[in-house]
C-alpha cells in the first residue's frame, strides 16, 4: 500500500491531489496545426456532406504545420521585445503593430507549394491567382482578413489561404513570448489578450487540471483565454442563454453547441472536449456548418464567431 503523501494514484485509479487552478491564458503549442489536421480528417468521415471541403481544409492546415515547424522566418523579435507589453497588461502581438515586420507572404508561398500536388482543378486556380498577386494586393487581402471584412467576389476565395499564412505567422510569434499574457482586463476580455483578434469559438477542456473549464479560442494566433461557463461571449450576460445542438436519430451530432444569448441575439459555438477529446474549435466549427444554417433559418440569433477559413458575404 502506498503512503498518504503519494501522487494520488492507488490500485483502484487516481484521485485529484490539489485544488484545480486552471491557467487563465494558454499559448498554442508547436503541434497545434498537426492535431487540427488530424481532426479535420476525422470530421471528413463524420460529415460526408462536406467531405471535399474538409479534405481541402485538412491539407491546408497540414501545410500550416509544415510552415510552422519547418520554415525559419526572415525576422524574429528580439528576446526581450514583448516584456514591457506583458508587464503592463497590453496585448503583446497586436496585429496592427507587427504586420509590417513579419514576412507572412513567404509563409503563404510555402503553403501554396505544399498544397500544389494535393488539390483539384478549381483550387489550383486559387493557388495560381495568389502567386500572380502583387505584394500590395496580398496586403489588401490581409487587411480584409484582419478587419473581418467579406472581401470582393474575386478575393473571397483567396482569403482563407491568406488567413492560413497569417495564422502561421502569429502562432510562430506566440512561441517567442517568454510567458503567456496575464488575464485580460475586464473591458477587453472578449478579445484575444495576445493579438486582439476576436474568438472563433469557445472550447471546454477535459484534462484533470482544467476539467470543465471554458476558454475562448483566438481566430488568428490560437491563444486560449478563460471565460466563465454560462456567460455570453458578446454581451457577458448569462440569464437568457440556450445551448443549441444538432441531433441525428436522437443522439448529439458533433461535440458542438451554439451558446445562444437571448439578450444580444447572438451565438458563439462551444466545443465540448468531454464528448470528443480531439475536438478542435476551428475544425469542428467548420464541420458544424449545418448548425449555423439551421440557426440562420430559425432566425433568432446571429453568429458572432469569426473563422477566417470560411468567409461569408456580409
How deeply is 162 buried, as exposed, middle or buried, from its count of CB atoms within 10 A (0-12, 13-18, 19+)?
buried
219 to 278, contacts with other proteins by CB under 8 A?
228-230, 234, 238, 240-248, 252-253, 257, 262, 265-266
Of 87 and 293, CB closest to other proteins: 293
Of 14 and 69, CB closest to other proteins: 14
Of 81 and 191, CB closest to other proteins: 191
Of 81 and 126, CB closest to other proteins: 126
| Least distance between other proteins and beta carbon 171 (Å) | 20
**Exactly one of 50, 106, 140, 176 binds other proteins (CB under 8 A); which one?**
50
Applying CB under 8 A, the span of 31-39, 48-56, 82-90, 174-182 interacting with other proteins comes to 48-56
| Least distance between other proteins and beta carbon 30 (Å) | 27
Of 29 and 125, CB closest to other proteins: 125
Closest CA to 256 of 272, 237, 238: 272
Do residues 203 and 279 make contact, with C-beta atoms less than 8 angstroms apart? yes
| Least distance between other proteins and beta carbon 260 (Å) | 8
| Least distance between other proteins and beta carbon 142 (Å) | 15
Q: Using the rule CB under 8 A, is 126 a contact of other proteins?
A: yes
Handedness of CA 134, 140, 145, 151 (dihedral sign): negative
Do residues 262 and 240 make contact, with C-beta atoms less than 8 angstroms apart? yes
| Least distance between other proteins and beta carbon 242 (Å) | 5
Grid cell, residue 215, equals 476558454
Of 87 and 230, CB closest to other proteins: 230
In the shown chain, the binding pattern of residues 10 to 29 toward other proteins, with x for contact by CB under 8 A and - for none, equals ------x--xxxx-------
71 to 110, contacts with other proteins by CB under 8 A?
none
Amino acid at each position: 500500500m502506498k503512503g498518504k503523501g503519494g501522487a494520488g494514484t492507488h490500485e483502484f485509479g487516481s484521485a485529484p491531489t490539489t485544488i484545480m487552478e486552471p491557467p487563465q491564458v494558454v499559448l498554442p503549442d508547436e503541434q497545434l496545426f498537426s492535431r487540427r489536421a488530424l481532426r479535420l480528417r476525422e470530421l471528413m468521415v463524420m460529415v460526408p456532406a462536406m467531405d471535399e471541403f474538409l479534405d481541402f481544409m485538412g491539407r491546408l492546415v497540414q501545410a500550416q504545420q509544415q510552415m510552422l515547424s519547418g520554415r525559419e522566418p526572415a525576422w524574429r523579435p528580439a528576446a526581450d521585445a514583448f516584456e514591457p507589453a506583458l508587464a503592463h497588461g497590453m496585448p503583446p502581438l497586436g496585429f496592427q503593430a507587427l504586420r509590417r515586420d513579419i514576412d507572412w507572404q513567404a509563409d503563404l508561398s510555402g503553403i501554396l507549394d505544399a498544397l500544389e500536388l494535393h488539390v483539384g482543378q478549381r483550387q489550383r486556380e486559387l493557388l495560381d491567382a495568389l502567386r500572380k498577386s502583387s505584394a500590395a494586393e496580398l496586403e489588401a487581402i490581409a487587411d480584409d482578413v484582419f478587419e473581418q471584412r467579406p472581401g470582393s467576389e474575386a478575393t473571397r476565395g483567396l482569403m482563407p489561404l491568406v488567413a492560413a499564412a497569417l495564422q502561421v505567422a502569429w502562432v510562430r510569434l506566440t512561441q517567442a513570448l517568454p510567458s503567456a499574457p496575464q488575464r485580460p482586463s475586464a473591458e477587453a476580455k472578449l478579445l484575444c489578450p495576445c493579438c486582439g483578434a476576436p474568438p472563433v469559438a469557445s472550447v471546454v477542456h477535459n484534462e484533470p487540471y482544467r476539467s470543465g473549464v471554458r476558454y475562448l479560442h483566438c481566430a488568428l494566433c490560437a491563444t486560449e483565454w478563460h471565460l466563465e461557463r454560462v456567460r455570453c461571449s458578446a454581451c457577458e450576460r448569462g440569464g437568457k442563454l440556450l445551448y443549441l445542438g444538432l441531433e441525428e436519430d436522437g443522439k448529439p451530432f458533433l461535440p458542438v453547441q451554439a451558446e445562444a444569448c437571448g439578450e444580444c441575439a447572438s451565438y458563439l459555438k462551444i466545443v465540448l472536449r468531454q464528448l470528443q477529446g480531439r475536438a478542435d474549435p476551428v475544425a469542428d466549427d467548420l464541420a458544424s456548418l449545418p448548425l449555423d444554417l439551421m440557426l440562420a433559418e430559425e432566425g433568432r440569433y446571429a453568429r458572432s464567431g469569426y473563422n477566417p477559413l470560411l468567409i461569408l458575404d456580409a
